[in-house]
Structure 1
């Protein structure tokens, strides 16, 4: 019975994926029927429309003054043509009928729609922010604006993972980057050492406060994308951010905060709606660390 249910669920998922791909194929046909004035290029049975090209420029963040630049147009269209060619080859090979490919397409659709929903929600909240709200944000975050600093730092960067997380606490007690370097080398963790410039507007608030209260020999740890970093400040000089530049930076930082808050609230709401089955119910409803060996 359980096996039959699993097969049924798989069939439903693949059926949904089939509908999704069918919808995409239909849209491809509609593009074929588009007026020639709206078609930028033909690639086999595929076409690139003016709307697709404009959207590609948007996704690549190409500035308006560069969108008619011949070299830029050539580069973007070459990449799109290659993608359409590979699409045609994949369809000819019937890869769109493979279960894993269908599931990947469904996942991509979910990610795009989820990002669009959060973006729309954030845009509505951002449009409601007044100049008074921005001025208050600037006043409440002096280290990012009037008290902004440009810092020269020595840093050691390494790939952050579950394996490296466990050893970070012991390395945090190091009194110098030389000691950090030695410990990472002894542990066999690949890393690189360099000098860079940071301004305090780009540093997470929690780390910024700690840095502002630093002692001369303090070593700081921070995350940067997939990497971990140990930092030591070599020098700092005042670089206040004021006027329109401060307003623009404040709006960007407030938008970032809204995205994080929206993602956090969405995660909570999703968790409340979720109902897990079988062993996954035990895993998801247990406290962290419980049942790991069960």
Structure 2
């Protein structure tokens, strides 16, 4: 086995050998990916160019290993993050392939049942304030008494929370129906708050631009929405079963936060 490893040579599915590391045709095709190849372009030239990028990347990565960077905690953590993200993407791709394309009758029924995403779709113009979630989220309870975006800005200044105030647009088709209904039920000028990804957005609707999607143009969008919903439902079921089957223990102070009442709006 040692002699065989030392005598590796390119051939067959192996396009090149860098030291003891093989680079396969499959890796080259993955490097090219979904890039649009110009009409009439020489496929071999494109493959050779992709192979050279891989070779250079491998040599540079070996240089990093020579410096011991692959043993650093930062590398180990980042590698796990990238592996997790890639595996999740592959899991979604695999699950997505099992979802059937809905019939036209199903699509038309879905479009009719979701007017806010199609016939009544609108772009909501927002006056929006954004700021990082404070270390103590209970501070946001002070905003519950604010019934205008100016009042919110004043409260944040009093709390010593830095923010930015910018115009924004919200597509009604991207909102869950229950969330859209709550926003539409608010009195004119009443703020609503949406925390996401460590950022808190407080907004008021100050304009509405109709942007309907009707007829045959709605069907491709409905296909994607239905498939996404079925995919999320399938993954959620598997996730719940997986979570129930695995013992998870937390150090005191690191437990998941308990669901709480939103500070205002939705």
TM over 0.5: yes
Distance apart, 1:164 and its partner CA: 5.5
- Normalising by structure 2, we get a TM-score of 0.70
Query: What corresponds to 1:119 in structure 2?
Result: 93
Query: What corresponds to 1:270 in structure 2?
Result: 242
Query: What corresponds to 1:4 in structure 2?
Result: none
The structure 1 residue matched to 2:63, chosen from 89, 112, 123, is 89
Is the deviation greater in 81-90 or in 136-145?
81-90
Query: What corresponds to 1:136 in structure 2?
Result: 109
The structure 1 residue matched to 2:230, chosen from 244, 258, 261, is 258
The SS at the match of 1:196 is: strand
Is the deviation greater in 105-114 or in 134-143?
105-114
Q: What is the aligned length?
A: 245
- Residue segments in structure 2 that go unaligned for 5+ positions in a row: 42-46, 259-266
2:149 touches 2:189 (CA, 8 Å); kept in 1? Answer: no
Larger helix share, 1 or 2: 1
Query: What corresponds to 1:203 in structure 2?
Result: 175
Cα distance between partner residues in 1 of 2:123 and 2:157: 30
> Aligned ranges for residues 33-52 of structure 1 at < 5 Å?
33=10, 38=15, 51-52=26-27
Query: What corresponds to 2:164 in structure 1?
Result: 192
1:158 touches 1:191 (CA, 8 Å); kept in 2? Answer: yes
Q: Deviations over 1:231-251 (max 9, x none)?
A: 111111322111343222222
Distance apart, 1:205 and its partner CA: 2.7
* Match status 1:55 vs 2:30: yes
Distance apart, 1:223 and its partner CA: 3.6
Distance apart, 1:94 and its partner CA: 4.2
Distance apart, 1:117 and its partner CA: 2.2
Q: Deviations over 1:181-225 (max 9, x none)?
A: 122222222321111233211233332112233321221112454
- Residue segments in structure 1 that go unaligned for 5+ positions in a row: 1-25, 290-294
* Match status 1:153 vs 2:126: yes
1:45 touches 1:88 (CA, 8 Å); kept in 2? Answer: no
Cα distance between partner residues in 2 of 1:287 and 1:107: 20
The SS at the match of 1:55 is: helix
The structure 1 residue matched to 2:140, chosen from 168, 174, 182, is 168
Cα distance between partner residues in 2 of 1:262 and 1:91: 40
Pair 1:36–1:110, CA change in 2 (3 A): closer
The SS at the match of 1:240 is: coil
1:172 touches 1:220 (CA, 8 Å); kept in 2? Answer: no
